[in-house]
Amino acid sequence: MKKDKIKDEMSLEEIEAEAREMLRGMSRREFLSRSIYGACGIAAASLGWSRLGLGKALAASGTSSIIQVRSNNAVAPGPSYNAPVIHQMLDRAVTRLTGQDSVEAAWGSLFSKDDTVGIKVSCIAGANCSTRPELVERIIEGLKLVGVKENNIIIYERHDRELDRAGFPVNKGKTGVRAYERRYPGYESEPVKLPTRDYEIYLSKVLTQEITALINVPILKTHVASGITCAMKNHLGSIKNPGAIHGAGNDMEGIGDLNAAGPIREKTRLIICDALRPLYNRGPSDDPRYRWLYQGVLATFDPVAMDVMGKEIIEAKRKEELGADWPIRNGRNACHINRAAELGLGQGERAQINLITLKV
């Protein structure tokens, strides 16, 4: 696809149609001949971007930790969401991840009263397949515990209508928690060039200028183009022209490049994955036939490890449903995960990821 034909905005229908067209047009020989990183797998050192300072994410042993908290009572058929249980799940995840004894101490180890915190939610697929407000409510309460002012908390997504539809009322005022679309404060005039495909993307000023810290709160689901959408793909909602990455071929390695961009890499303090009712097939559009009550909340500092674990959870469900292995094929088996690991953004090897599962 030529650069001048890449659309800034794509609907769910356009995303899915284009992905399927690319998959049909890719020959078997091309598929087998491509390496795991693709022909343009440039080493991180050549990008001019420093490696992610994972700090807490990577222990001295080289492992990354993910805290998974599950419950049998978080979601009831309907669905009906049990806010107190979901709040308890998040509290357990954050305290265990940070190694703190209290919820206040856990949030205080990550944020200060002087921060302006962005919360990147995922709302493109409608109210029944979006980041849950109950989860975000507890994140806000945690930030307020350490003195972050309500108006210094900004929930953002692609469009105002998507936020409203998912249960996040738009607020562009000077009181209360703010919530608005990525274009409201505008976009940076200088692009970030993605080395994998040499396309240019434009970051939202929410990310670059308005916030000092970021919490990434994706929902776990499959995606016809990238294989899965979890921590890293959620940032297609942080740029003006996600069509540049959707148009970069069915492997979408540019997702890894995007997450290496300075404002995303440097401002992300925490990743919370909504795995209460994931989608294991036919995403990103909602399809109730493929939703299930996993009833999980996952927390980590490592976006790559989060995507590795999200893929594992989905493939386990797919195997359970089929009675045989049903791996994710789209996006060359979600190869943006390998690209991001190559760039030093986190741990891409499952053996180096420490999953700690708790029950409430």
Confidence of residue 219 (pLDDT cuts 50, 70, 90): very high
Residues 173-204: pLDDT tens digits? 999 999 999 999 999 999 998 777 777 899 99
**Residue range of the domain that includes 77:** 3-359
Which tens digit of pLDDT belongs to each residue from 279-338?
A: 999 888 899 999 999 999 999 999 999 999 999 999 999 999 999 999 988 877 888 999
pLDDT digit string, tens, across residues 36-45: 222 222 222 2
- pLDDT (tens digit, 9 = 90+) per residue, 92-150? 999 999 999 999 999 999 999 999 999 999 999 988 999 999 999 999 999 999 999 99
Q: What is the pLDDT of residue 334?
A: 87
Model pLDDT, residue 17:
53
Stronger pLDDT, 61 or 206, i.e. the higher one: 206
Give the per-residue pLDDT at 20.
47
Token digits of residue 90: 């998040």
CATH number at residue 105: 3.40.50.11440
Q: What percent of the chain has pLDDT over 90?
A: 70
Q: How many domains does the chain have?
A: 1
Asked whether the predicted pLDDT for residue 356 surpasses 90, the reply is yes
pLDDT of residue 154 exceeding 80, the answer is: yes
pLDDT over threshold 60, residue 4: no
Position 19 pLDDT exceeds 70 = no
